[in-house]
């Protein structure tokens, strides 16, 4: 994946996206631990409780810029420097497509953080990857808060796939929301 900026101003709520650092271990662990009831419902990576080792292993990969990496993760950081979530850009859906994922610490949900972060990550993804024509956001239809986000950003529902159930509240259906570059350029939301 192309090199992405170290830090991006979200432009709302005093938030920034910044690349993960090895020093984030304790605060990331605390943010995940405090959000486990919500995370484990839909996030396969949150099936098990976090440990210092699992968080450290994630950061060792996420904090290093490897050109062959197929995922780039950013911490969602507030004005006080607290980690209030994470977002990721993933090259795993085929040529010309990048996928965005997000989570927000449970005590900060319902404030528009994920919407704002996904908005800026969409812009960063398209600006830094001229070969990418399509950004996707995938979510379970039962994940009402997540499914509310892509249409607010101009994504359209492309289809609903049948997928394996990998987390407690997943239904086996997955909405595939798509924003094409041409639609992104045409929209006035940006």
Residue from 87, 104, 153, 178 touching ligand COA (CB under 6 A): that is 104
What's the min distance (Å) between Cβ of 105 and ligand COA?
8
Cβ contacts of 113 within 8 Å, gap of 6 or more: 13, 15, 76, 84, 85, 104
Listed residue (178, 135, 182, 131) closest to 1, CA to CA: 131
Question: For ligand COA, which stretch binds (CB under 6 A), given 8-16, 53-61, 139-147, 181-189?
Answer: 139-147
| Residue 109 engages ligand COA in binding (rule: CB under 6 A) | yes
C-alpha 78/C-alpha 14 separation (Å) is 6
Pick from 54, 71, 115, 173: which binds ligand COA (CB under 6 A)? 115
Report whether 114 contacts 104 (CB < 8 A): yes
Strands 7-9 and 16-19: antiparallel
Tell me which residue of 76, 98, 74 sits closest to 88, measured CA to CA.
74
Residues within window 155-184 making contact with ligand COA, judged by CB under 6 A: none
Binding segment for ligand COA (CB under 6 A), chosen from 14-22, 89-97, 123-131, 147-155, is 147-155
Residue 52 sits at φ, ψ, to 5 deg, of -55, -35
Task: Return the structure tokens found at 54.
Answer: 């699992």
Which sign, positive or negative, has the C-alpha torsion 155, 157, 162, 167? positive
Which of residues 1, 72, 139, 153 is near ligand COA by CB under 6 A? 139
Compute the least distance from the CB of residue 147 to ligand COA, in Å: 8
Kindly tell me which of 122 and 143 has the beta carbon lying closer to ligand COA. 143
* Number of residues in contact with ligand COA under rule CB under 6 A: 22
Find the binder of ligand COA among 20, 113, 155, 177 (CB under 6 A). Answer: 113
C-beta closer to ligand COA: residue 64 or 152:
152
Q: Are 117 and 87 in contact (CB under 8 A)?
A: yes
* Span 34-73, contacts to ligand COA by CB under 6 A: 38-39, 42-43
Contact positions toward ligand COA, by CB under 6 A? Answer: 38-39, 42-43, 102-104, 109-115, 139, 143-146, 148-149, 152
């Amino acid at each position: 994946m192309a090199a992405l900026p170290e830090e991006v101003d979200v432009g709302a709520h005093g938030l920034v996206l910044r690349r993960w650092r090895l020093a984030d271990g304790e605060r990331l662990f605390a943010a995940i631990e405090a959000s486990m009831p919500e995370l484990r419902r839909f996030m396969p990576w949150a099936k098990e409780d976090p440990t210092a080792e699992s968080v450290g292993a994630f950061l060792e990969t996420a904090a290093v810029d490897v050109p062959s990496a197929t995922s780039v993760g950013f911490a969602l950081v507030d004005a006080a420097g607290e980690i209030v979530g994470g977002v990721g850009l993933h090259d795993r859906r085929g040529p010309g497509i990048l996928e965005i994922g997000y989570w927000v610490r449970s005590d900060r949900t319902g404030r528009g953080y994920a919407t704002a972060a996904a908005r800026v990550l969409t812009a960063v993804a398209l600006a830094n990857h001229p070969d990418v024509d399509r950004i996707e956001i995938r979510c379970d239809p039962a994940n009402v808060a997540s499914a509310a986000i892509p249409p607010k950003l101009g994504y359209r529902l492309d289809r609903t796939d049948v997928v394996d159930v990998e987390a407690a509240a997943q239904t086996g259906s997955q909405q595939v929301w798509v924003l094409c570059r041409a639609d992104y350029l045409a929209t006035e939301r940006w």
